Amino acid sequence: MSENPKIRFGIIGCANIARKVARAINLAPNSTLYAIGSRSMEKAHKFAANNGLSETVKIYGSYDQSWLPTRRSTCYWKKPVALDVAQLDHILQACESNGVQFMTGTMWLHHPRTAKLKDLISDSKLFGPINYIHSSSTRPGTKEFLENNVRVKPDLDALGALGDLGWYCIEAALWAKDNQLPTTVTALPDVTKNSAGVILSFTASIQWEPLDHTVATIHCSFLSHTSMDLSISASNGTMRCNDYIIPYAENSASFEFTSGAKFAELHIGWSVSPEEVRVISQLPQEALMVQELSRLAEGIREFGYRPDRKWPDISRNTQLVLDAVKKSIDLGCKPVSL
């Protein structure tokens, strides 16, 4: 990237997540923050000042003015991208027809720990065929959050915990199965909604039968203590990670891995103990995400490459399963086939 100008990014909206993204853009070696857009000039200037942005960053007081004046080659979206797959398809088709790289902002997929996890669970001898996946994403919503946050407003983010937290859990289950769509999705009858009908908490079962015998359970809630758990069990191994969405620390992350475990004689212990695998990261996962998106954008801009289908395919399959969970909830927790 030293011979080519950095990929320029514009941020539309000044919510808290924008602070994290702005920092990631500045940390990534092949990107630069070009513009900030908000619904008011005052809010945009305040965001720039509070986050120490360079004076060269352009400030806009409306979203319409925020689009970069040159040809766009990337499209980064905060999840959930859409209310359903029909809306998402319009976005993806627009990106594809205009040669724009699409990517959803699920940062954990870009952490080097995730690649190490994939290597281990893909080892047929060490791990074996996957038969069970469990993922949770929960957070304790304060009274202020549960009354006023956009995530609990039907006219602003109608999917609630399903869209905000369920996206991660569904994506993690699909990631473990190499993005293979399941056959059946069933919401469990523990669904909690607010008075406006927005989902605050839910649990769902995801099955890949009769293709194989893998089952996943996911639990997401605005009403529980913070958790970001992912566990995967197979015929010969087990993997557990307690911070898969946001690592406990920026510069390293770990997980537990057990292979070939049996009970000791008289069942007074185990034959092996879980191994802690620690992975060092040179950049925060959000900066690695920006770096990858910028790399893909450079390929489009400099060499005329087509956008990489990997990322829109991941998002579309995640949306399809998310839609199925929503449909199951709306049907009174009946199974939904995909």
Strand partners, 231: 134, 240
The stretch 243-250 carries a mean pLDDT of 98
**Could you identify the residue written with the tokens 């594809």?**
96
Across residues 99-121, what is the average pLDDT?
A: 97
State the pLDDT at residue 62: 83
Q: For residues 110 and 249, give the distance between their C-alpha atoms in angstroms, rounded to a whole number.
A: 15
Q: Which residue has the higher pLDDT, 3 or 330?
A: 330
User: For 66-78, what is the mean pLDDT?
Assistant: 66
pLDDT of residue 111: 98
Task: Tell me which of 147 and 65 has the higher pLDDT.
Answer: 147
Q: What residue ranges define each of the domains in the chain, with the CATH number in brackets?
A: 7-108 (3.40.50.720), 111-285+317-337 (3.30.360.10)
Instruction: Give the distance, in angstroms, between the CA of residue 70 and the centroid of all CA atoms in the same chain.
Output: 28
Lowest mean pLDDT among 58-72, 207-221, 245-259: 58-72
Q: Average of pLDDT values for 186-198?
A: 97
Please give the full DSSP string across 28-82, using - where no structure is assigned: STTEEEEEEE-SSHHHHHHHHHHTT--TTSEEESSSGGGS-SS---EEEEPSP--
Q: What is the pLDDT of residue 79?
A: 85
pLDDT at position 116:
98
> What's the CA gap between 91 and 78, in Å, rounded?
13
Tokens of 312: 């829109």
Structure tokens at 89: 């398809």
Q: Is-cis flag, bond preceding 80, omega within 30?
A: yes
Closest of 20, 25, 18 to residue 43, by C-alpha? 18
Kindly report, residue by residue over 116-149, the tens digit of the pLDDT: 999 999 999 999 999 999 999 999 999 999 999 9
Ranking 16-20, 115-119, 144-148, 294-298 by mean pLDDT, the lowest is 16-20
**CB under 8 Å, gap of 24 or more: what pairs does 64-71 form?**
65/37, 66/10, 66/11, 66/12, 66/35, 66/36, 66/37, 67/10, 68/8, 68/10, 68/34, 68/35, 70/8, 71/301
67 pLDDT tier (thresholds 50, 70, 90): low
Confirm if 30 and 2 have CB atoms less than 8 A apart: no
Cα within 13 Å of Cα(181), Cβ side = 16
Where b means 16+ CB within 10 Å and e means fewer, 299-322 reads bbbeeeeebbeebbebbbbbbbbb
Q: Across residues 287-314, what is the average pLDDT?
A: 96
Q: CB-based contacts of 44: which residues, under 8 Å, 6+ apart?
A: 14, 36, 37, 38, 59, 60, 61
Alpha helices in the chain (DSSP H): 16-27, 41-50, 85-97, 112-121, 143-148, 160-164, 166-176, 285-303, 310-330
What is the pLDDT at residue 1? 40
pTM comes to 0.94
